[in-house]
Structure 1
Amino acid sequence: MNSDQLVIRRAVQADAEAVAEVWIRSFDAALPTVRRPRGNDRIRLWFAEKIVPHRETWVADADGVVVGMMVLHDGDLDQLYVAPDWRGRGIGDRMVALAKENSPEGLELWTFQVNAPAQRFYERHGFVESFRTDGSENEEREPDIRYAWKP
């Protein structure tokens, strides 16, 4: 299946476990050196209780299988992860386009400094670096970058 056959839709509660699995697999593949402050069970609970029911959560659905996820919250593109075996198929591009449509006043996001592919991806989509931190304010204690997109 190619990305043209994907449906990008709002997540429903029944998607929470699949959303968490995409996040876990993608985070681990993309950020192997970044320490996660929570184990997999806590992450699954976080998505089931806090994220999917209370935040604007979107999924990339490939014939009933969640292969990508995105969370928008208070002007932030808060989470964007694509399953490792689905990367490079334009799913992230489609999700960013949707995020921009839904946030025409602009968006901001964080990415870790060690995640050079994410930096290139967001810069290609018009996001501009605002500032960098030493990571002392995030749970992972990992230096990060704040990006902004203004239309």
Structure 2
Amino acid sequence: MRTDSPVVLRRATAADAPAVADVYLRSFTAALPTVVRPWTDDEVRAYIRDVVVPHRDTWVAVHTGNHGSASGSGEVVGLMVLDGALLSQLYLAPEWRGRGIGDRFISLAQQRSPHGLTLWTFQVNEPAHRFYERHGFTAVEFTDGSGNEEREPDVRYVWRP
């Protein structure tokens, strides 16, 4: 798939944290309207600023406009967080879905964890199920949600090369 203009994947920096939080919040709200978030927007912003960006393997998709620059300038339109073989977060700004950015993030995750990946997604998130299954992930466990902070039934997916 192609994007309308250049999008670069790169490591997140401290300066990206506010935009990363915005993408997460907007994406979560759009994709999961029935799932109750256990944190306020301010708590999410602080967690992303203080924990996710500085201490996790955090990647961003940056729309560089017509500049093609990977220097950090541009609009953050997606994020991916890896924790070893766990793909812990993958969110795109709602208006950037369907443009191949998620595919590029999955390819990057598979390159960084060539022996396999695992992830969790909510059972109500059917588009995510289709997306991950299209990329070779298999559902291996379904829960009642008692193990996650949202208390929402979820499913664990695994990818093995």
Please confirm whether the aligned pair reaches a TM-score higher than 0.5, indicating the same fold.
Answer: yes
- What TM-score do you get using the length of structure 2 for normalisation? 0.92
User: How many residue pairs end up in the alignment?
Assistant: 151
Contact 1:134 1:144 in 2 (8 A): yes
Match of 1:86 among 81, 88, 96: 96
| 1:67-122 alpha-carbon deviations (Å, 9 max, x no partner) | 00000002101000000011110000000000000000100000000000000000
| RMSD, aligned CA | 1.1
Offset at 1:5?
Answer: 1.1
The equivalent residue for 1:44 is: 45
Listed as ranges, the matches of 1:1-150 within 5 Å are 2=3, 5-63=6-64, 64-150=74-160
What are the ranges of 5 or more consecutive residues in structure 2 without an aligned counterpart? 65-73
More helix by share: 1
Query: Deviation at 1:12?
Result: 0.6
Give the Cα separation in 2 of the matches to 1:123 and 1:2.
22
Which 4+ stretches in 1 moved above 2 angstroms?
1-4
Matches of 1:74 and 1:100, distance apart in 2: 11
Give distance in 2, aligned partners of 1:69 and 1:41: 18
Larger radius of gyration: 2
Measured in 2, the distance between the counterparts of 1:119 and 1:44 equals 27
Partner of 1:138, secondary structure, is coil
The Cα shift of 1:3 comes to: 5.5
Amino acid of the residue matched to residue 58 of structure 1? W
Instruction: Please state whether the residue corresponding to 1:109 is helix, strand or coil.
Output: strand
Query: TM-score scaled to structure 1, two decimals?
Result: 0.98
